[in-house]
Amino acid sequence: MRVGVVAIIRKGDQLLVIRRGAAVPFPHYWAPLSGKVENGETPEAAVVREVAEEVGLRVRAERCVWECDSADDRYRLHWWLVAVEGGELTLDSREVAEARWIAPDDFSTLEPVFDTDREFFREIWPTL
């Protein structure tokens, strides 16, 4: 199983969620930003790179807070809390159709979403 990363991007009391682009697996799903760890790359470096590539923000990876398998069971996902350090929200339209800053409790109002993402915001987020 390959390793992937999920970025829980915080800015104040809000989190960034994206609606996945039409050209990526599971198009149009709402989710935290995610991506694969490249060969020779650490998960921490991957989460910083993926955020910069997909939404143009410079972030600092703070800590890995959870792991789960992806919806297609191809990746072991490492969930990272990250803090925005700079940059402007600039979407890579091939991978991201839309982005929103939301309160964590509002994630449950988005559709469609992955079951594991719903589990994270219901079970893990309140413990952080």
Stretch 83-98: mean pLDDT: 96
d(CA 108, CA 120): 11
Coil, strand or helix at 29: coil
Rounded to the nearest integer, the mean pLDDT of the chain is: 96
Q: Given this model, what pLDDT does residue 113 score?
A: 98
At residue 1 the predicted structure's pLDDT band, cuts being 50, 70 and 90, is: confident
CB atoms within 10 A of CB 104: 17
Q: What CA–CA distance (Å, rounded) separates 82 from 103?
A: 16
pLDDT computed for residue 114 by the predictor = 97
pLDDT of residue 110: 97
Domain chopping of the chain, boundaries: 2-127
Rounded Cα distance between 108 and 57, Å, is 25
Q: What is the pLDDT of residues 27-80, one digit of tens each?
A: 999 999 999 999 999 999 999 999 999 999 999 999 999 999 999 999 999 999
C-beta separation of 4 from 75 below 8 A: yes
- Please state which of the four CATH numbers 3.30.70.1020, 3.10.580.10, 3.40.50.300, 3.90.79.10 is assigned to the domain occupying 2-127: 3.90.79.10
Using the Cα atoms of residue 52, residue 58, residue 60 and residue 63 in order, give the sign of their dihedral.
Answer: negative
